[in-house]
Amino acid sequence: MSTRSTIAYVEDDQYKGRNVVASYCHMDGYLDHTGRILFDHYNSFEQAKELVDIGAISFLETTIALIRERSRCLNDRKPEFYRTISSFMYHLDPLNIEYVYLWQKKMWWIARRLAIDTTKLKHEEGYEQWVYYHSKFEPLAQELYQWDFDNTPNAETWWNLETNKGNVSSGGGGA
């Protein structure tokens, strides 16, 4: 079973009429792999754009060259374009996409798949049902810090976290 994710960026040219560009990543989308590699090896708008613009990939590697060499690029799946972050998130299926990574405001953000067990809610008897959704975006550096005490973010990253407090904007805007 694969841990599927989507990797996206917000374009810095909002006049193109498509502000969010996203690509599918089939395997190893969890925080300790894809999240760590994005943070350590693709930590600029140019690197995020180059990665996403490849299109769908099997799994993330530390360089574009390694992705082309080792990871099957799913060439028939080109990047997808959305006008807003809200539209982008609306079209993602939280049952299939467990992690969403987004480059915006000069840093990576992460949203996770969450679920509600509706059998624990007080309602009419019925079939077992789960409702899946994505969390709000949180700074990736903060999430990595909570999971990985050996590799804490550097001072510049913490400055970015402090200056970009709050959620990722759901409207247009630059990267």
pLDDT at 165: 55
Cβ of 45: how many Cβ atoms within 10 Å? 18
pLDDT at 174: 41
Residues 37, 90, 72, 49, CA torsion sign: negative
pLDDT at 136: 96
Alpha helices in the chain (DSSP H): 36-41, 45-52, 64-70, 85-91, 140-147, 155-163
Query: Counting runs of H as helices and runs of E as strands, what totals does the chain give?
Result: 6, 7
Whether the CB-CB separation of 71 and 60 falls below 8 Å is answered with yes
Whether the CB-CB separation of 26 and 56 falls below 8 Å is answered with yes
Whole-prediction pTM value?
0.80
Burial of 89 (0-12, 13-18, 19+ CB in 10 A): buried
pLDDT at 129: 75
N- to C-terminal Cα separation, the chain: 33
Which positions of the chain have pLDDT values less than 70?
1, 12-18, 72-75, 121-128, 148-175
What is the domain partition of the chain in residue ranges?
Answer: 5-157
pLDDT at 70: 78
